[in-house]
Amino acid sequence: MDQDSHCIAERELLEAVNRITTFSTTSPTDEERNQPKAGISCQVRKENPEKDDLQDSRASLSPNSSMTTKELQEYWRNEKRQCRQVKLLFEIPSTRIVEHHLSKYVMYKIIILQTGSFDSNKSVIERRYSDFEKLHRNLLEEFSEEMEDVTFPKKTLTGNFTEEIINERKLAFKDYLRLLYSMKYIRRSKKFIDFLTRPELQEAYGCLRGGQYTKALEILLEVIGLQERLTRGNPVSVVPTLCAIVVCHKDLENAASAFEYGEKALSRLRVHTSHRYYMPLLETMITLAYELGKDFLSLQEKLEEWKAKKDPVRVFTLKELAVREYVQ
């Protein structure tokens, strides 16, 4: 490609990026909202993103004339990914009856898929009727107005374990989850997210505290994908889970994998340096970088800079922080 063609290509890419950036940050008019959407959907940006969304947007790279064509292409791809609407689909394909001592209950298998893009990492969890019931009760306390017309399948005095009742509840719970997820404030609420992730996280952290790092890591890697999809508006919320994965990989002597997940956690804390995980994570990353022969001086500079700004206080190690999560 000659110099003139190279410059033309850069200008065209820059104009395209500017159009995407403007589209992503400008609120649409009522008329625009009613028009059919084509191409990339930016619904996530339209729904008044939370504080962390805005901070991440400000902290992200801005297109400018000094960027190379390759950098502009990468920026464009990142912007398109951020604008793509993410929706989750809930399916309950099967159930199983559990008999434990004097109790008997039905476990509902819930499959959670991401629509709108290829999602090979489906999430599979199990919940019983009492788990749904607790979720409904908690949501009624916080979102009484939004939950006003939401119906919940009632328990019956008899027949709870018949095939007919179980099949009816499978359909009812599927519709129930879809309806809850369709309501912005509910799907972003801690109570809804906890319902879908907390039991697995509690089990994983219990294994971590018991030194069962392989089992803990297996569960954490299964739940992190779902947790990230549920908390796209608040990326900092997955930092503890990412750090727990770092701890497991490190104790299993998988330094390269530990460093990889540590980088993911640090990227979410780039504008949250006061976060309780920031300094312990930096210290761990310095150790891992040195072990792997990577650049640790830049990490060391960040750590010294952080220490210079903060009063000297006792700080837990990354592992000490991890084992304290989800302690009842």
**Which stretches of the chain score pLDDT less than 50?**
1-3, 5-6, 9, 13-14, 16-17, 19-65, 79-84
Q: Which domain holds residue 227?
A: 198-324
CATH of the domain at 150: 3.30.1520.10
Domain end, chosen from 135, 159, 188, is at 188
Identify which of 317, 297, 308, 237 has the alpha carbon closest to the alpha carbon of residue 269: 237
Domain co-membership, 253 together with 279 = yes
Domain end, chosen from 188, 222, 248, is at 188
Domain co-membership, 133 together with 235 = no
Contact 202, 326 (CB under 8 A): yes
Which residue pairs from 165-173 have beta carbons closer than 8 angstroms and sit at least 24 positions apart in sequence?
A: 166/95, 166/106, 169/106, 169/108, 169/129, 170/92, 170/95, 170/108, 171/92, 173/92, 173/108, 173/110, 173/132
User: How large is the greatest C-alpha to C-alpha distance in the chain, in angstroms?
Assistant: 80
Domain co-membership, 117 together with 220 = no
Contact 123, 223 (CB under 8 A): yes
Q: What is the pLDDT of residue 276?
A: 93
66-91 in b/e form (b: 16+ CB < 10 A) is: ebeeeebeebbeebeebbebbebbbb
201-212 in b/e form (b: 16+ CB < 10 A) is: bbbbbbbbeeee
Alpha-carbon gap, residue 60 to 271, rounded angstroms: 10
Q: What is the pLDDT of residue 74?
A: 64
Q: What is the pLDDT of residue 315?
A: 78
- Tell me: the pLDDT tens digits for 80-132? 444 345 589 999 999 999 998 888 999 999 999 987 655 567 899 999 999 99
Residues in a beta bridge with 104: 99
Tokens of 176: 């129930």
Is residue 56, in this structure, part of any structural domain at all? no
CATH of the domain at 208: 1.25.40.10
Domain co-membership, 127 together with 157 = yes
Domain end, chosen from 143, 168, 188, is at 188
Alpha-carbon gap, residue 10 to 4, rounded angstroms: 10
